[in-house]
Structure 1
Amino acid sequence: MKIESEKLKRYALLLAAKDSEYVNKMYGGYFNVFVEAFGDIEYGEKWDLFRVVDGEFPNMDEINNYDGFVVSGSPFDAYGNEHWILKLCLLLQTLYLMQKKVLGICFGHQVWFNLYILTVL
């Protein structure tokens, strides 16, 4: 079944952890784990990977093109002051204001929830 390009759903994985040797060997990286769990490529979804833990973020001019975002878990502290965590918080604040769908997993949930509380209060 061919999907028309204007109907494609586009999602971004904001990866907040480095791929372990085991995950690389078993699954080819965390990206594949998340797409397998949440994606539906057969029905026209497109997934992009941004390794935020390494400072790789989506271009702010293109975030409106995404239907949703997934923020992965991480061994880092969600309250940490690392540059990439602070930049992730700014991105999430922007996504909140744009009313984008965001799913946070563990670390991702903590960062998203804390930001949500600060924005609402």
Structure 2
Amino acid sequence: MGIECESKRRYALLLAARDSEYVKKVYGGYFNVFVAAFGDDEEQEEKWDMYRVVDGEFPDMNELENYDGFVVSGSPYDAYGDDNWILELCHLLQTLYSMQKKVLGICFGHQVSLIM
């Protein structure tokens, strides 16, 4: 008799923009927008975490291996800027690249993904 282990795919949203009042009111925040666009709510086989990288919140480097993929959001900031959080995000993306992790960049997220 075997024991079944439930394994969910795990993804991280790296949010590079702050929620506008409109997005909060209509969607409940950007997190909900991205999960609705890319998530698979019907089968509940995914777990999504959000990190507000724009505010300096990043995933623990020791936990990166637990993620199946990452989505980097758009942002009103300059992808070539030298804000600390942008530089830290670029470092994180270099790490994910070396780990051969799947990364989807949206606008700003795509630009910072190419800076490496």
Q: Could you tell me how far 1:113 is from its partner in structure 2? A: 1.6
Aligned AA for 1:98? M
Residue 31 of structure 1 pairs with residue 44 of structure 2: no
Q: Indicate the RMSD between aligned Cα atoms, in angstroms.
A: 1.2
Q: Secondary structure at the match of 1:42?
A: coil
TM superposition outliers: structure 1 runs of 4+ over 6 Å: none
Measure the CA separation in 2 of the matches of 1:39 and 1:30: 13
Measure the CA separation in 1 of the matches of 2:50 and 2:86: 17
Q: Percent identity?
A: 73
How many residue pairs get matched?
Answer: 112
Match of 1:49 in 2: 50
Q: Deviations over 1:52-99 (max 9, x none)?
A: 000000000101000000000000000000000000000000000000
Unpaired stretches in structure 2, ≥5 consecutive residues: none
Q: Secondary structure at the match of 2:26?
A: helix
Residue 106 of structure 1 pairs with residue 70 of structure 2: no
Q: Secondary structure at the match of 2:61?
A: coil
Q: Per residue, is there more helix in 1 or in 2?
A: 1
Q: Deviations over 1:26-62 (max 9, x none)?
A: 0000000000000113321000000000000000010
TM-score (structure 1 length as normaliser): 0.89
Aligned AA for 2:71? V
Measure the CA separation in 2 of the matches of 1:5 and 1:91: 29
Unpaired stretches in structure 1, ≥5 consecutive residues: 116-121
Give the alignment of 1:80-91 within 5 angstroms. Answer: 80-91=81-92
Q: Secondary structure at the match of 1:5?
A: coil
TM-score (structure 2 length as normaliser): 0.93
